[in-house]
Structure 1
């Protein structure tokens, strides 16, 4: 009955042979230890800190100056648009860089014998990234066309003039 036992290879096989834990068990132990550490530090911080209410502690702090007015103001939505556009293009570059490194240096060193397979894989990768880039560009052109990237947008009364 050779097929009744699960196949293990590499380091996982070595750990199981020595009576150690499997890879999944090691990940579970690591995750539990991380959550336990976070929970313990939060509880210890709650127990150790002082509980002396003071009106100065709840006031808005403005660089040592006496606050004028309320510390809670509505944030301008234009900053959110700029931040989101930055994040989209930042993530795009983060996804393009490894692809470009692998795609640009993808010449075989003799280990890959299927030249036609390599060529097909490279074309598939190119079309995938062009599609991804196209979706990003369409979104950017939409924002640009409808004026969401303009810092000062014209109102309908200003557009009528």
Structure 2
């Protein structure tokens, strides 16, 4: 017994949809990694700096890593002493103690390093939104394509199959008297 051609069409539509969904995967990976980086938050420890550096490094394409090696090494190489010193200088400044010129310069340098850790997180948030929009647009185009096929009548047999089954059930029962 041969299958009805309509079943092959369903299988073909499923395969097309399955392949199209596979195109979501790269964007989903970027979305996941960007959200992981954005979720690190304000670095308060050397481990947080290292985590930010490593997660940002995962988002840099290998061909462009040479451009970001210095920033990556600075983030990963941030020591606990630097983080502790930043907190100490901020506390001294917060209680009203006047910092020497050397301490102010050191504070500015340490705050610059902290900002270096926040920039990749901000960029990751924007990249995550871009990936989400890209996924939504791609899925929207896919749905518009299926709506077009439905409107054109390529999928009209789905409705007619139900009508055929009802007609077949009516003819099997015969005329009612």
Specify the TM-score bucket, using the shorter chain as the normaliser: 0.3 to 0.5
Greater helix proportion: 2
- The structure whose RCO (Cα within 8 Å, separation 6+) is larger is 2
TM-score normalised by structure 2 residue count: 0.37
Larger Rg: 2
TM-score normalised by structure 1 residue count: 0.40
